[in-house]
Structures are given as C-alpha cells and as structure tokens.
Amino acid sequence: MKIRRISAAVAAVSAGALVLTACSGPAQESEIEGTTSVNVGWNEPFRSTNNLTANGNATANANIVYLTTSFFNYYDGDLNLAKNEEFGSYEVVSEDPFTVKYTVNEGVTWSDGTPVDAADMILFWGAQNDMFDTVAGGDVPTDADGNAEVPAGEVYFDSSSPAMNQITTFPEIGDDGRSVTYVYDSPRSDWEVSMNQPSPVAAHVVGKIALGVEDPTEAKAAVEDAFENNDAEALAKIADTWTNAFNFTSLPDDPDLYLSYGPYVISDYVENQYLTLTRNESFNWGPEPKVDSITIRYTEDPLASVTALQNGEVDLIAPQSSVDVLATLDGIDGVSYTTAPEGTYEHVDLTFDNGGPFDPATYGGDAEKARLVREAFLKTIPRQEIIEKLIQPLQEDAKTRDSFLFVPGSPGYDEVAAGSGADAWAEVDIAGAQALLAQAGVATPVDVRFLYGKSNVRRANEYQLIAASAAQAGFNVIDNGDDTWGSILGNGTYDAALFGWQSTNTFILNAEANYITGGQNNYGGYSNPEVDALWAEVGTNTDSAREVELATQIEQKLNADAFGVNIFQFPGVVAHRDVLQGVSTIALSPTIFWNYWDWEISASDSLDAPSASESE
C-alpha cells in the first residue's frame, strides 16, 4: 500500500475526485493598463509544486498548481465539463480496448522555453502507476516527520492512481512527440478527468536532477526510456526526485523546481507569510489573466482574514464561516460577500492500523472487538448538537450530511443516505456505546488521540463537544490538536481525525482512493476486499441507476465497519473588496480561483495593498 504521510488541509472528494480537475476558459485580452495585483487570503501555506504526491495532495497546493499549469478540460461556472482546445485535445480512438489519445498543441512550453510534450504525459502516467514500484508502501519506513525512507535502490513513487493503474502497456508516442495514446486494460467511467494534464512538474527537470542529463531533450528521452524499459536503477532515482525534490516552504534557489506552463509563475515565497505569482509572458494557450500578479497571504484564523480584508491587506478571502465572521463582514464598507454551501464536508475518520483502540492488532487480531469499539465511539459523536450550535447560526436550514459519496441535494443522495445505515449515527447513544464496550470486554476509560486544526476555532469547538459526549460512554478523548495537522495525516500518531474533503469533480468514482485498500487518501489504513470489489465495478459502470445501487452497498459496508462518520457540508462565505471585480466561486476545487481570467480592477479604483516584499 502507499504511504499516506501527508495530505490536505482541505483535501479532495465528496461526490468528487482526489486529483485536481482545474479549468480554463476563453482567452481574453487585458483591459487594464499598467501593473495590477490582487492579494488573496488563504488558510494553509503552499508546500509542493507536485500535487500528485501524498505530500502534495492539498488544496493549498492545488490552487497554485492550477495557476501555474494548464489542463485539457475544466469545469465552468455551471459545473459542466468543457474542453480547453487552446491547450490541447483528446479523443477516444477505440472503445475496445478503451483507448484515448492526448495531444498538446504546438507552441505550449514550460517557462524556461522547453516544450510541454509526451515526456510530461508519460511522467504523469508512470509516476502514478504502481506497477513500477519495487517496494510496497507498507514496507517503507518513515522518519520522525512521517517522510518515507525508501531503501536504497528501490523504486517508490509516493502516489497512486486507480485509473493510471489500468494502463499497463507503455503508451504510444506520436505527432513529433506531442501526443500520447493510452490503452486501458478495462474502461474507466471517469477517464475524462483522470488524465487531465501532462504533469505538474517538468519531465526534463526530473531527468536533469535524477539522472544528471543537462540537455532538456535528452533528459526527457531518458525519463521516457526508464519507464518504457522498466529500468529499476533509473526509476529509483526518478521516483526519489519526483516524490521529494519539488517540496518547499520558501522560494528555492533553483527555478527549475517551480517552472510553469500556465498563466502565472511563482516569483516570491516567504515561509508561512505569502507566495506571489506574476504573469507568464509567454502564455497564450488558455484564458489570459487581466491581473499582473497574485499574492496568496496565509493565516489559519478566519477573523484575522476578515481583518486583513478590512485593512486592505488582502482583496479576496474565503474564510471558514462563523457568526463573528459574518457580523464583521456586515460592518465593512466597500466589501461584498456571498454565502452558500461549499463542496467541502466535515467528517471524522478512525485509524485501523496504528496499534490504537480501533486497530484489531490491539486485541490480538480480533477484528470484531475492534469494530465494536469503533462503533461505540461513533455513537457518541454529537452530530446534531454540532449542527445546531455551530452551523445553523450560519445556515438556518443546515442538516447533517449522511452520505460518504454524494453531496446533499445531488441526484442519488436521498436514496443512498436512506439505505446506507447512516441512521446508526443519527443521534447520540451513550447507553448503546457503553453496551458495545461491555460486549467487547474493553476496560474503560479508552484513550482516543484526536487530531484537528488547533487554531481553527470551529474545529476546536467541535473537539470539545465530541470529547464531552464521548467521556460519558467511557472514552478519554485526548487533545491532539495541531496546526500542522495536514502534514500528520496518515502517520499513525492519532486515532481519530477531524478534517474536510473537498470536491474536485462530479464523478463519484474518484472517491475510491479514500476507501480502497492502499488508497492514497485512505489515511486510516481501512481495508475491506468486498468494498474493493464494488469500487472495481463502479469503475466500468455507465448505468446511473446501477451506480446508486453500488454506492449504497459501499456505504452500507463503510457504516457496518464503523469507518467513520460525516457531520456537515461547509457553510461557505466568499468576500472581496468592491474594487476587485469578476469574483466568482464554484463548489469544486479550485473554488475562488477557477475564473482568475475574469478578475479585474475597476477603472476608477486601485488596490492599495502592501507589496509582496513586506512582512506581516
């Protein structure tokens, strides 16, 4: 299985996906003369230009990757999937075997002038295909920070894609190296979003760093050859580079680590403070921005984001909504805001493989005893109390979310939720939890280490409510709150985690990485062969009615296994200074960044914000 050592502050899935599905749109000419800049507030710092790794799979990274790369397709404002033909094209060339050809248009280049081409698409495929790994993730030790320590000479790409795993023959390269044709072993119902860009990091840079090949053309050829020949010696070096070299928390000295083939290029980054992107002057294969630079400024505190907006330090924010946030926004002149449910949902996941209270190994391998303890804990989570005290003040009609796979209100949600067994968690059942612990023969109190974002006021309040309720049944819920919780997910140091998944597309299939054995986002080590088999059937299914049946069966098993529990759909708020026009958001990642090309500054005003060189 893959190591899931780090993931997202708000990672990716609901009715959606775990691989960033970003967008493009019609090219537009700038209408603003002079240099313009926008400052955006965000809650978690960027940490990797490779958002395909376990470490890089974070919304904070996906936002930057979205602005610095290009994609074959995108979701528009109505959540319709559309092609970006200015960048490239793709087509199904055979139904049996299922075969898709991708072609990058001539003239598309990385910001160093090197063409974006087949080598980058080969890297995207090969790095996420488990068949090249010579060591399983479960056999790879981790250091004190949870980073993989791959044995010398072993091949281990810290990533996995069920779709890429379905392509086991080396793809055909054509059109003077600009196209790649993939032949799937079996069809994938979500194929159109599974391979939606060449690569977030450059194949020629990977070849240069890993293999010491300086010439870009030769470096790309070396990467292609390593995958085509399954050259373990070369792939071990490529895997190490691909997994680790593109992670950074301040601007690296080597610009190769942050090359772009999108509308913007990273130009400055001060750790834990801000990251600045400036226009990529060579970019003309997608929607051209009207704003010359974007600076992302970081703070976990929602009220601090509002204060920064009020003070003109940022121009656009999407903070976690709260009564205080909305009340403060109401009193700020020159600021507009909107509220609506987001594509993100809050949930609690349990850990199955860390020697803790929910792990069968703790009870000598007794899986049923561990399941009873998990079920007992989930019965104590006060979902309705959390909704009434923390969410309904922001959204009067807020209700609990009762499906793992479907967004409330979407087709199939009501049917799946009604038949999934989620009603087991509808109300707190202290007596039932105590009876289950007694049935398991487990002495109380049972210690449960609980991970959440400590400085996040709403999550801190959720923790307090959960801990107080669970204590009544005999659980000692230990405060493991940590502001770096995103880098802790999957490292085994906690027993329960409270965080959010965010949708990135409208296919339920890509949720499988949360729940299948060894799935990249299956941080708790859950494994059920019957669930794996159901996901395999979902992968090739094209019947919507059958999809609902399969989803219901998957959710029944997740609830029966006491995998975890969902709580609520996020009540969202987006606020911006009125001088910034064109702001919009969608209920999928990259949310407020999706239509960057529409952002502009009203002709009669300017955004007098601090420059990116100033500290905060």
Q: Lowest mean pLDDT: which of 11-20, 82-91, 462-471?
A: 11-20
In the chain the domains, ranked by start, together with CATH numbers, are 342-569 (3.10.105.10)
Chain mean position to CA 419: 28
Q: Is the pLDDT of residue 34 over 90?
A: no
Q: Within 13 Å and on the Cβ side, how many CA atoms surround 565?
A: 24
Token look-up 């602005």 returns: 67
Burial of 381 per CB tally in 10 Å (0-12, 13-18, 19+): buried
Mean pLDDT, range 418-440, rounded to an integer: 97
Q: What average pLDDT does this structure show over 358-372?
A: 98
pLDDT, one tens digit per residue, over 570-585 is 998 999 999 999 999 9
Cα torsion 464, 407, 317, 612 to 10°: value is 100
In sequence order, the 6+-apart residues with CB closer than 8 A to the CB of 144 are: none
Backbone angles phi, psi at 130, to 5 degrees: -65, -15
Task: Tokens for 561, please give them.
Answer: 């296994």
Write the CA distances from 465 to 242, 276, 400, 453, 528, integer angstroms. Answer: 42, 39, 16, 15, 31
Stretch among 115-129, 349-363, 474-488 having the lowest mean pLDDT: 474-488
Q: Break the chain down into helix, strand, coil percent, rounded to 5.
A: 30, 20, 50
Residue 154's SS3 state is coil
**76 to 28, 589, 590, 604: CA distances (angstroms):** 16, 12, 11, 29
| Helix spans in 161-272 (H) | 162-165, 191-194, 203-211, 216-228, 232-244
d(CA 329, CA 331): 5
Per-residue pLDDT band at 8 (split at 50, 70, 90)? very low
| C-alpha span between 70 and 259 (Å, rounded) | 12
**Cβ atoms 496, 18 nearer than 8 A:** no
Is the confidence at residue 12, as pLDDT, over 70?
no
- Residue 23 C-beta-side C-alpha neighbours within 13 Å: 26
Distance CA 99, CA 151 (A): 36
What's the pLDDT at 510?
73
Q: Which helix (H) or strand (E) holds 124?
A: helix 118-127
Cα distances (Å, whole numbers) of residue 229 to 32, 220, 233, 326: 51, 14, 11, 58
Q: Give the chain's radius of gyration (CA, Å).
A: 24
Lowest mean pLDDT among 29-38, 53-62, 260-269, 595-604: 29-38
Asked if residues 250 and 271 have their Cβ atoms less than 8 Å apart, the reply is yes
Q: Tokens standing for 401?
A: 């979310």
Give the pLDDT confidence score for residue 325 in this predicted structure.
94
Q: Is the pLDDT of residue 538 over 70?
A: yes
Please, what is the average pLDDT of the chain? 89
| pTM summary value | 0.77
Structure confidence at residue 542 (pLDDT): 74
Q: Is the pLDDT of residue 401 over 70?
A: yes
* Per-residue model confidence (pLDDT) at position 604: 52
How many residues are given for the chain? 616
Question: Kind and range of the H or E element at 537?
Answer: helix 529-540
Which DSSP symbol is given to 262?
S
Classify residue 495 by its DSSP letter: S
pLDDT in tens, 47-96: 999 999 988 888 899 999 999 999 999 888 887 888 999 999 999 999 99
Q: Residue 43 carries which DSSP code?
A: S
Query: Whose CA is closest to 122, among 4, 63, 191, 201?
Result: 201
User: Prior bond to 590 cis, omega within 30?
Assistant: yes
Query: How would you classify the pairing of strands 98-104 and 88-95?
Result: antiparallel
Judge residue 105's burial from the number of C-beta atoms within 10 Å of its C-beta, 0-12 exposed, 13-18 middle, 19 or more buried.
Answer: middle
Question: Rounded to 5 degrees, what are φ and ψ at 533?
Answer: -65, -40
pLDDT at residue 5, rounded to an integer = 27
At residue 182, what are phi and psi to the nearest 5 degrees?
-105, 135
Highest mean pLDDT among 32-46, 79-93, 135-149, 599-613: 79-93
